[in-house]
Amino acid sequence: MSSASAQLSHDEIAAALIRTYSKAEARQMNPLTLAYIGDVVYSDYIRRYLVAEGLTKVDRLTKRSVHFVRASAQAKAIRRMLPELTDEERAIVRRGRNTKSMPPKHAEVMDYRYATGLEALFGYLDLTGSRERELALMTRAIELTDD
């Protein structure tokens, strides 16, 4: 446990877990921080979708989820969704895409950068409490990558 979390009271920890940030606060965050949150948000939606499809075997769930969460699939989704995004959303994607980070060996650099942009967008939407928009874009991303 880090010293920062050890200093927080029970109520402070609970408040941190459900905090909603203003759009201005979220725009000030490092795009990789947004992508860090967006990665888990995106993966959670995919897992829920697959369970709703009726998949129950963990090995099948894992294999099927990779189809959606790999960099190439996320890049495909965000490239196709760009015209549907607001200017503000495109700016978040651009910031995430332009952030310098090392892609894994198995991912194409541009796919990885676009995937980071998509994850930054989902992190931004989640942290700002934009659930309706988050759900609409997640639904669209699934439609674009479920082939």
C-alpha distances in angstroms, 92 versus 100, 142, 145?
Answer: 15, 20, 21
Out of 11, 39, 44, 87, pick the active-site residue.
39
Is 87 tagged catalytic?
no
Instruction: Provide the greatest CA pair distance for the chain.
Output: 48
> Contact at 8 Å (CB) between 115 and 74?
yes
Among all residues, which ones are annotated catalytic?
39
